[in-house]
Amino acid sequence: MFLMNTNPSYKAPLDPRDAETLGVEAAATVERFLSYRENNAETPLVSLPGLARNLGVSSIHMKDEGFRLGLGSFKALGGSYAVIRLVLEEASRQLSRLVDISELNTPEVLAIAKTMTVACATDGNHGRSVAQGAQLVGANAAIFVHWGVSDERVAAIGRFGAEMIRVAGTYDDSVKEAARVANERGWTIVSDTSWPDYERIPGLVMQGYTAIFGEALRKMPETPTHVFVQSGVGGIAAAAAGHLAILLGDERPIFTVVDPSRAACIVETARAGHPVVIPHGEPTIMAMLECYEPSLVAWRILSRVADAFMTVEDTDAIAVMKRLANPIDSDPAVVSGESGGVGLAGLIRAIGDPASQAALNLGPQSRILLVNTEGATDPSRYAEIVGETADEVSNRNLGASA
């Protein structure tokens, strides 16, 4: 399915709250916070000229978030950032003065953090980030996971010392259960999705994601004409579209949101013109995108600054993982997990369909920006699908540059 944005709020200015959340000043704060992280490094912006030639566009750049903060996905930027912000805010409140990030490891801030518990529901990657943030500041973390989350993903979160809580049902059930228990016990929910009267913390999580696009624009030889970003609840797509609209104004790229067809809550929301909860169907291989209810803040942003919405199939996601692992010409190989290359799957589908291609004005002049949102965050699943381990695929690049 492919549809252009026909919502009444399309091209309206961003809501002032969202403009502040995703603005230049906010993005500068994110980068300052990142500079205090031990394993901070810009992620690679991979140029894929062979693929661009093959698809008939001018260039393709892919920001590879598989390398982000040692966590394997862009989610590393959001949850942990929000946890640090919340601890500093609580310390400022208790100490009656503004507490700066440079004081994070002081005994008085650590003592306050120790009394705090942060909680969230996760498909895997967001929980890993929240748990890492909690460990970093010395707070407690309780992470809720539904039945479908693999043991490997659960173990990867537990390694950060978080209490892991299994919940029957789907991701959306785990979101509700996390909110219920946290409310009962006085924990702070650090969710990557928002609902009525719960916007600020998901806004901080999205604010963390802006770093990807600031880094990308500084490295790209020219600004992109098109951006394709995949969506679960819509957080990263909204952060990207909103931040790029603020940075580039009328020169902003044409922005397409890409959903799995089996969990297309953003596409269905765009079709209905208001947030909708979609029925549960068969699980999708794009496990991190399996969300049935959009984030309200994300939709408020996307309804204004996204240009198009589309779905891709599980087979598209698998094909893209293999294609990125086995590049053409001298393109580097990219290790991309099941949900990582879905923006590229959207580009390929749009180019293959004359109506979508024309609607998006995609052609030989187009400069594409994509985000590989995860590496092999579930290594055995990755090897099963691609037929090689993530190490074998990335070692191919070492061979090529030797």
**Contact 376/337 with Cβ under 8 angstroms?**
yes
CB-based burial of residue 178 (10 Å sphere; 0-12 exposed, 13-18 middle, 19+ buried)? buried
Tell me the closest approach of the beta carbon of residue 301 to ligand PLP, in angstroms: 11
Q: What DSSP state is assigned to residue 236?
A: H
Which residues carry out catalysis? 75, 123
Minimum CB separation from ligand PLP for residue 123, in Å? 5
Q: How far apart are the C-alpha atoms of 131 and 133, rounded to whole Å?
A: 5
Q: Which residues contact 387 (CB under 8 A, 6 or more apart)?
A: 322
Which is closer to ligand PLP, CB of 88 or CB of 371? 371
Closest approach of Cβ 102 to ligand PLP, in Å? 29
**Closest alpha carbon to 120 in 171, 173, 189, 73:** 189
Rounded to 5°, the CA angle 314-65-165 comes to: 70
CB of 60 to ligand PLP, least distance (A): 18
| Residue 246 or 342 with smaller CB distance to ligand PLP | 342
Binding site for ligand PLP (CB under 6 A): 73, 75, 123, 125-126, 192, 230-237, 288-289, 339-340, 373-374
CA distance 262 to 89: 39
Give which of 10, 55, 15, 7 is closest to 349, Cα–Cα.
Answer: 55
Return the closest-CA partner of residue 306 out of 366, 234, 372.
234
Q: How far is the CB of 333 from ligand PLP (least distance, A)?
A: 18
* Cβ at position 137, least distance to ligand PLP in Å: 22
- Three-state SS annotation for 325-357: HCCCCCCCCCCCCCCCCHHHHHHHHHHHCHHHH
**29-32: which pairs have CB atoms within 8 A and are 24 or more residues apart?**
29/207, 30/77, 30/81, 30/207, 30/208, 30/210, 30/211, 31/211, 31/214, 32/101
Residue 9 Cβ vs ligand PLP, minimum distance, rounded to whole Å: 19
Helices (H) then strands (E): counts for the chain: 17, 11
Cβ proximity to ligand PLP: between 73 and 284 the closer is 73
Q: 109 vs 233, which CB is nearer to ligand PLP? A: 233
Q: Which is nearer to ligand PLP, 236 or 246 (CB)?
A: 236
CB 266 within 8 A of CB 310: no
Residue with smaller CB distance to ligand PLP, 112 or 386: 386
Give yes or no for a contact between 318 and 340, defined as CB atoms under 8 angstroms apart: no
From CA 50, how far away is CA 181, in angstroms rounded? Answer: 50
The nearer residue to ligand PLP, 86 or 175, going by C-beta atoms, is 175
Mapped onto helix, strand or coil, the DSSP state of residue 92 is: helix
